[in-house]
């Protein structure tokens, strides 16, 4: 599975409350059909089960489960399960009437499959937290299916422009008429900078990014292609081939002639390290870069200053729009504890959302969080204008199709013909 989809397609919480630790051995010996609520002592509380597949969230959810249990008198039993065939594992446990989750964390692009399988249902948002007061339109669209909210937006991934502020200031000072340094608003301005900048010897590239990964390329055509509308669930809204999208791809191809990036050898991690080492002035980064750069700065591995900015437009006339993926909390339609599950989901995306970044490095979809974090605010702004990954099962391989398209265009393929071919492929696989 693609690295970015793999990393963010399924996330959830792990751990167990402190009061349960003494019973670990006992719990392991319980028969599958034995009800925990019938066990005396600390097991008198209502209990909900929460599945997830990302171990990096364990500390966060362990802490959240404790805090929620104390505040709501509801026990949460998180279970870290294999990422492989995650949704299928939930379905199999449910069909067998085995111990299945009352709620689970899943990527927004899997919500249609979960909903049509009966594994997700409309949320019971009694407090009205899933609203524009707390979330951007992108977050709300991510959890919308056929006009209903079928999940709670927990965290997100998208792209932003990472730049070396020190180099930017040096470039401004080199101009015949020194001006205030500003981040290029589009690629024409960036190319002008590249033509007029005499960088330090350590700089190997003005602008380098992972051209092999569609997640770092999507923004170039994201404003002009339509795969399912804003919520990514409308089969009547499919439009990949149009003049603006072709022009954006042609501009993308022209960038290769200037920056000469080898798509066969480039990768995100090495580029980010090159940025830390002072070899790159600009790059396209995901949210993980915020914590990595802050740590590098603190440890002295990165000297000078850096910053994050909104993604540049393609040209003054052609606008960019990033892709986003949202980790969503879904409630099983088979759960008998929907009310309690909804209550815990609400807790995670509101009261406990301010703990998410500090414990995991993942950025909360709640726009009221991390307002003192400059990088988080830039990413949140980019996320707010992004387009969520499509939910439609018919377009589950769109990621790969677009990656092939960009690869061929980058390596001198005919942008017009290749986009037309991709559009035809997608149109034929969508059942209206």
pLDDT in tens, 368-393: 999 999 999 999 999 999 999 999 99
pLDDT value for 82: 86
HSE of 428, CA atoms in CB hemisphere, 13 A? 6
The pLDDT of residue 21 is above 90: no
Given this model, what pLDDT does residue 44 score? 59
pLDDT value of residue 291:
95
Over residues 256-289, the pLDDT tens digits come to: 988 989 988 999 999 999 999 999 999 999 999 9
For the chain, percent of residues with pLDDT exceeding 70:
90
Q: Report the distance separating Cα 18 and Cα 2, nearest Å.
A: 36
For residue 22, pLDDT over 80 is answered with no
pLDDT at residue 260, as a whole number:
85
Taking 50 as the threshold, does the pLDDT of residue 16 lie above it?
no
Mean pLDDT of the region 84-102: 90
Average of per-residue pLDDT across 185-191: 95
Q: Which two tokens stand for residue 39?
A: 């066990």
Total-model pTM: 0.89
* Cβ–Cβ < 8 Å for 48, 332: no
Average the pLDDT over each of 17-21, 161-165, 343-347, 368-372 and give the range with the smallest value: 17-21
pLDDT at 39 over 70: no
Percent residues over pLDDT 90 in the chain: 82
**pLDDT in the model for residue 84:** 83
204 with 361: CB under 8 angstroms?
A: no
Give the pLDDT band (50/70/90) at residue 1: very low
Q: Which of 85-89, 94-98, 139-143, 297-301 has the lowest mean pLDDT?
A: 94-98
Mean residue pLDDT across the chain: 89
- pLDDT of 103 > 70? The answer is yes
Between 221 and 262, the more confident residue is 221
Q: Token pair of 16, please?
A: 């167990």
CATH topology for the 3-157+325-388 domain: D-Maltodextrin-Binding Protein; domain 2 (3.40.190)
Q: What are phi and psi of 380, to 5 degrees?
A: -65, -40
Write out the CATH class of domain 159-323+393-429: alpha beta
Q: In this predicted structure, what is the pLDDT of residue 41?
A: 36
Q: List strands edge to edge, sheet with 205-207.
A: 205-207, 280-286, 159-164, 306-309
* Helix axes of 243-259 and 187-196: crossing angle, nearest 10 degrees: 20
User: Mean pLDDT throughout 168-183?
Assistant: 87
Is the pLDDT at 69 greater than 90? The verdict is: yes
pLDDT value at residue 118: 93
Banded model confidence at residue 45, pLDDT cuts 50, 70, 90: confident
- The pLDDT assigned to 49 comes to 96
Q: How confident is the model at residue 10 (pLDDT cuts 50, 70, 90)?
A: very low
Residue extent(s) of CATH 3.40.190.10 domains in the chain: 3-157+325-388, 159-323+393-429
pLDDT band at 33 (very low <50, low <70, confident <90, very high): very low
Query: Worst-scoring range by mean pLDDT, 80-89, 115-124, 398-407?
Result: 80-89
Lowest mean pLDDT among 180-184, 241-245, 292-296, 383-387: 180-184
User: Averaged over 35-55, what is the pLDDT?
Assistant: 69
* Cα 38 from Cα 142, distance rounded (Å): 38
Residues 207, 285 contacting (CB under 8 angstroms)? no
Q: Is the pLDDT of residue 14 over 90?
A: no
State yes or no: pLDDT of 32 exceeds 80.
no
Q: At residue 208, does pLDDT exceed 90?
A: yes
Query: How far apart are alpha carbons 297 and 292 in whole angstroms?
Result: 9
Average pLDDT, integer, range 105-119: 96
pLDDT at res. 26: 33
Cα–Cα distance measured from residue 159 to residue 127, given in angstroms and rounded to the nearest whole number: 31
In SS3 terms, the chain reads as: CCHHHHHHCCCCCCCCCHHHHHHHHHHHCCCCCCCHHHCCHHHHCEEEEEEECCHHHHHHHHHHHHHHHHHHCEEEEEEECCCCCHHHHHHHHHHCCCCCCCEEEEEHHHHHHHHHCCCCCCCCCCCCCCCCCCECHHHHHHCEECCEECCEEEEEECEEEEEEHHHHHHHHHHCCCCCCCCCCCEHHHHHHHHHHCCCCCCCCEEECCCCCCHHHCHHHCCCCCEECCCCCCCCCCEECCCHHHHHHHHHHHHHHHHHCCCCCCCCHHHHHHHHHCCCEEEEEEECHHHHHHHHHHHHCCCCCCEEEECCCECCCCCCCCCEEEEEEEEECCCCCCHHHHHHHHHHHHCCCHHHHHHHHCCEECECCCCCCCHHHHHHHHHHHCCEECCCCHHHCCHHHHHHHHHHHHHCCCCHHHHHHHHHHHHHHHCCC
Over the stretch 334-368, which tens digit does the pLDDT of each residue have? 999 999 999 999 999 999 999 999 999 999 999 99
Summarize the confidence of residues 46-54 as an average pLDDT. 94
Give the Cα separation of 380 and 368 in Å (integer).
Answer: 10
pLDDT of amino acid 4: 44
């Amino acid at each position: 599975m693609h690295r970015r989809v793999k990393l963010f397609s399924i996330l959830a919480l792990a751990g167990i409350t402190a009061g349960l630790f003494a019973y670990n051995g006992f719990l392991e010996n319980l028969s599958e059909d034995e009800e925990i609520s019938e066990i005396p002592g600390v097991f008198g509380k209502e209990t909900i089960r929460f599945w997830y597949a990302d171990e990096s969230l364990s500390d966060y959810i362990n802490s959240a489960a404790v805090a929620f249990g104390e505040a709501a008198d509801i026990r949460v039993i998180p279970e870290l399960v294999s990422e492989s065939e995650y949704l299928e594992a939930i379905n199999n446990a449910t069909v067998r009437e085995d111990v299945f989750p009352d709620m689970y964390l899943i990527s927004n692009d899997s919500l249609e499959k979960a909903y049509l399988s009966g594994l997700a249902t409309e949320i019971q948002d009694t407090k009205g937290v899933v609203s524009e007061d707390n979330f951007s339109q992108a977050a709300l669209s991510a959890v919308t299916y056929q006009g209903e909210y079928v999940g709670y937006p927990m965290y997100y991934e998208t792209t932003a422009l990472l730049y070396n502020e020190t180099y930017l200031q040096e470039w401004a000072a080199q101009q015949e008429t020194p001006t205030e340094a500003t981040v290029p608003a589009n690629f024409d301005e960036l190319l002008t900078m590249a033509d007029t900048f005499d960088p330090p010897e350590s700089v190997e590239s003005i602008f380098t990014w992972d051209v092999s990964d569609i997640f770092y390329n999507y923004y170039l055509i994201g404003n002009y292609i339509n795969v399912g509308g804003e919520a990514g669930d409308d089969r009547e809204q499919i439009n990949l081939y149009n003049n603006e999208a072709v022009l954006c791809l042609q501009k993308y191809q022209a960038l290769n002639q200037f920056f000469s990036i080898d798509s066969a050898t480039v990768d995100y991690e090495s580029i980010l390290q090159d940025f830390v080492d002072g070899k790159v002035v600009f790059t396209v980064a995901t949210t993980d870069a915020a914590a990595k750069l802050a740590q590098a700065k603190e440890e002295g591995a990165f000297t000078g200053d850096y910053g994050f900015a909104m993604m540049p437009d393609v040209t003054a006339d052609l606008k960019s729009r990033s892709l986003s993926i949202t980790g969503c909390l879904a409630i099983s339609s088979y759960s008998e504890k929907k009310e309690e599950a909804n209550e815990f989901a609400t807790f995670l995306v509101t009261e406990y959302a301010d703990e998410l970044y500090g414990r995991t490095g993942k950025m909360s979809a709640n726009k009221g969080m991390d307002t003192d974090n400059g990088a988080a605010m830039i990413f949140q702004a980019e996320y707010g204008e992004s387009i969520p990954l499509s939910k439609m099962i018919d377009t589950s391989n769109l990621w790969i199709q677009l990656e092939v398209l960009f690869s061929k265009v980058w390596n001198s393929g005919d942008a017009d013909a290749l986009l037309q071919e991709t559009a035809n492929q997608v149109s034929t696989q969508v059942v209206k």
